[in-house]
Amino acid sequence: MSTTQSDRLRGLVEPLVAAKDLDLEEIEVSRAGRRGLLRIVVDSDEGVELDVCAKLSRAISEKLDESDAMGEGEYVLEVSSPGADRPLTEHRHYVRATGRLVKFQLAEDGELVARILAVDEDGLDLEVPGLKGRKPTARRVAFADIAKARVEIEFNRKDKKEEEA
């Protein structure tokens, strides 16, 4: 996607996304056979419900129909929330992942799997699970030391709501 098209799409879509109190995470244009594919990824601190994606998709579709940002050809519009395997790249991603288990690729210390306990402007307070029955340990990691980070899917962890019940 050209920078000009990307900027135009962002200019059209961002106000609609912001009006729904969502963050625009990604805009991707690609080819799907003879059709174009416009994928828009949105998120919020509370997550994104399917109904919100559907309403936003209709609003974006109407706005795109009024413009020539996608050109003359056919395209498919897809509005969704980020997948569970989305990399954590922004400060807000880490805040939203508080309480979750995350796999970090550190710039100098290799890999680390830990639970995010708290996030501030400089970095993360983590709980590193203990191995073979040992107690978890606390660790501080600065954002500057993180090369990559991705939430680990946990199938056996109880939800906070379940724990409180």
Q: Where on the phi/psi map is residue 22: left (φ > 0), alpha (ψ -120 to 50), or beta? A: beta
**Residue with the two structure tokens 């940002």:** 69
Within 13 Å of residue 85, how many CA atoms lie on the same side as its CB? 0
How many angstroms from the chain centroid is the CA of residue 147? 17
Sheet holding 75-80, edge to edge: 23-32, 35-43, 75-80
Residues 6+ apart with CB under 8 A from 17: 23, 24, 40, 42, 56
Residuewise pLDDT in 10s, the chain (165 residues): 456 878 889 999 999 999 999 999 999 988 877 888 899 999 998 889 999 999 999 999 999 988 888 877 888 999 999 887 889 999 999 999 999 999 999 998 899 999 999 999 999 999 999 888 889 999 999 999 999 999 998 887 655 544 444
Q: Structure pTM? A: 0.74
